[in-house]
Chains A and B, each alone.
Chain A
Amino acid sequence: MKTAISYPTVGAMGKTGTWRVFRPSLDREKCIKCWRCWIFCPDSAISRDEYPVIDYEYCKGCGVCANECPVNAIEMGREEK
């Protein structure tokens, strides 16, 4: 009997960035590096470098990061295709 096993793959269910309607953009001048956006991002789309880096391939544009940023360094703009 063969057991059904699946293996982890990043984005196996597709690039969820295509869902996005609003696009977050970071203002580095304002960022205080509290990493709240990093911890709250549901899509693991923000990674830690010198500043937060947003991965637009997977960001669904939910806007939690912009809403939770204490200094309003993240702005949501309409996605242009």
Chain B
Amino acid sequence: MNIKDLPEEDYFTSGHTACAGCPAPAIVRNMMKIFGKDTIVYTPANCLLVFSGTYPYLAWKVPYLHEAFENTGSCISGVARAYKKIGKKALVVGIAGDGGTYDIGIQALSGAAERDEDVIYVCYDNEAYMNTGIQRSGSTPYGASTTTTPAGKKIPGKLRHKKDMAEIMRAHEIPYMATLSISHPKDFLNKVEKAKNVKGFRYLHVFSPCPTGWRFDPSKSVEIARKAVQSGMWTLYEAEYGEITGIYKPKKKIPVEEYIKGQGRFRHLTPEMIEELQRWVDRKWKRLYGEEP
């Protein structure tokens, strides 16, 4: 699907209170354009819930509900089964943040994937618990300074590397999984459209830079997402039943140093730490592309 062919109708309205420059509203808006009006959206506790659906305000023009943090997987399974029982056709979508996917919601998500429920699970990954005040999550990359891993004399930011959640989901051998980035709109729209038309459990993992938590200029959010893809910090690929069917390879690989430039959370990194981060990227590159970077 091309940008020009995207429907005009919006199911996510203006006037929500996301921070200026946050790409999450653009992500959900473009997804909803493709999913259409016969969609039911569920979100656990995350930024998206707070800026678009705190009672009594609502930015969604589709049925929308929220529940506790850890049960995205079980809630969307329940909604999908209830709809099947009453014989109505609807697309059930759960949109969780990285905290609700990597850490708190992984058990319910894994269960729903294993049962192959007919739902779409979207994880928008901003690499920390941004909604509650930038605490580290399983998704936070090595060296990033957060409020629970503050860079200082004791520790130089987070000491562990980012967990590869997309690979965990690929290992579930679900009908369709893909990693997306808003910086590559054509690829983004094609993957969302493909996910809509597949039956069974579908997992979409979207990269979403956070201007507030990562401390960069709001206008740079899409540019940083693009740099993440170009540097290999984020890899765009899709898989069906555990087999990688498509993988995007950047024309020119840029060093990690260029990606972390301009991000306040990486400001304190020493050359040795940047090297460590580069080694992690190179390992990931070799694993996914099957060749030396």
Q: Specify which chain A residues have a CB less than 8 angstroms from the CB of B36 in the assembled complex.
A: none
Q: Are A12 and B220 in contact (CB under 8 A)?
A: no
Checking A19, A39, A45, A68 against B6 with a beta-carbon cut-off of 8 angstroms, the contacting residue is A39
A4 to chain B, nearest CB (A): 6
Whether B21 and A64, one on each chain, are in contact in the complex, defined by CB atoms closer than 8 angstroms, is yes
| A13–B55 alpha-carbon span in the complex (Å) | 11
B58 A41 Cβ-Cβ under 8 A: no
Give the most central of A19, A39, A63: most B CB within 10 Å. Answer: A39
Stretch touching chain A among B11-19, B172-180, B275-283: B11-19
Within 8 A of B (CB), among A31-61: 34-36, 38-45, 47-48, 55, 57-58, 60-61
Chain B residue with the shortest CB-CB distance to A11: B15
- Nearest-Cβ distance from residue B120 to partner chain A, whole angstroms: 20
Complex partner residue of B25 from A13, A14, A42, A76, CB under 8 angstroms: A42
Chain B 44-68, CB-CB to A under 8 Å as 1, else 0, gives: 0000000101011111110000000
Contact B21 A40 (CB under 8 A): no
CB of A45 within 8 A of CB of B14, answer yes
Residues A19 and B58 in contact, CB atoms below 8 Å apart = no
In the complex the two chains form, is B14's CB within 8 Å of A16's CB?
yes
Q: Is the contact region of chain A dominated by helix, strand, or loop, or is it mixed?
A: loop
Q: How many Å from the CB of A71 to the closest CB on chain B?
A: 15
Residue among A42, A57, A63, A64 having the largest count of chain B Cβ atoms under 10 Å: A42
User: B57 to A44, Cβ gap below 8 A?
Assistant: no
- Residues from chain A with a CB closer than 8 A to the CB of B21 are 42, 60, 62-64
Contact A44 B12 (CB under 8 A): yes
Choice from B12, B51, B53, B222 contacting A64 with Cβ under 8 Å: B222
Instruction: Give the interface SS of chain B, mostly helix, strand, loop or mixed.
Output: loop
Among B1-35, those with CB < 8 Å from A are 3-4, 6, 8, 10, 12-18, 20-26, 29-30
Q: Is the CB of A68 within 8 A of B223?
A: yes
A11 near B14 with CB under 8 A, answer: yes
Picked from B25, B217, B218, B221, the residue with its CB within 8 Å of the CB of A44 is B25
> Please, which residues of chain A bring their CB within 8 A of the CB of B30?
39
Is the beta-carbon distance between B26 and A40 smaller than 8 angstroms?
yes
Q: Tally B residues with Cβ within 8 Å of A.
A: 40
Give which listed residue, B6, B57, B211, B218, contacts A13 with CB less than 8 A: B57
Q: Which residues of A contact B25 (CB under 8 A)?
A: 42-44
Query: Is the pair A6, B55 in contact by a Cβ cutoff of 8 Å?
Result: yes
Are A39 and B14 in contact (CB-based, < 8 A)?
A: no
Say whether B40 faces chain A, with CB atoms less than 8 Å apart.
no
* Contact A64-B221, Cβ < 8 Å, known A6-B55, A10-B13, A15-B15: yes
Q: How far is the CB of A54 from chain B (nearest CB, A)?
A: 12
* Residues on B with beta carbons closer than 8 Å to the beta carbon of A35: 3-4
A36 contacts B59, C-beta separation under 8 Å: no
Complex contact A8–B13 (CB within 8 A): yes
- Contact between A42 and B17 (Cβ–Cβ < 8 Å)? no
The answer to whether A67 touches B219 (Cβ under 8 A) is yes
Q: Does A66 contact B (CB under 8 A)?
A: yes
Chain A interface residues toward B at CB < 8 A: 4, 6-16, 19, 34-36, 38-45, 47-48, 55, 57-58, 60-64, 66-68, 76
Which 7 pairs from chain A and chain B are nearest by CB? A11-B15, A63-B219, A62-B21, A58-B14, A62-B20, A60-B20, A12-B57
Contact sample, A vs B, 12 pairs, CB 8 Å cutoff: A6-B55, A8-B60, A8-B61, A13-B17, A38-B3, A39-B26, A39-B30, A40-B185, A42-B26, A62-B218, A64-B221, A68-B222
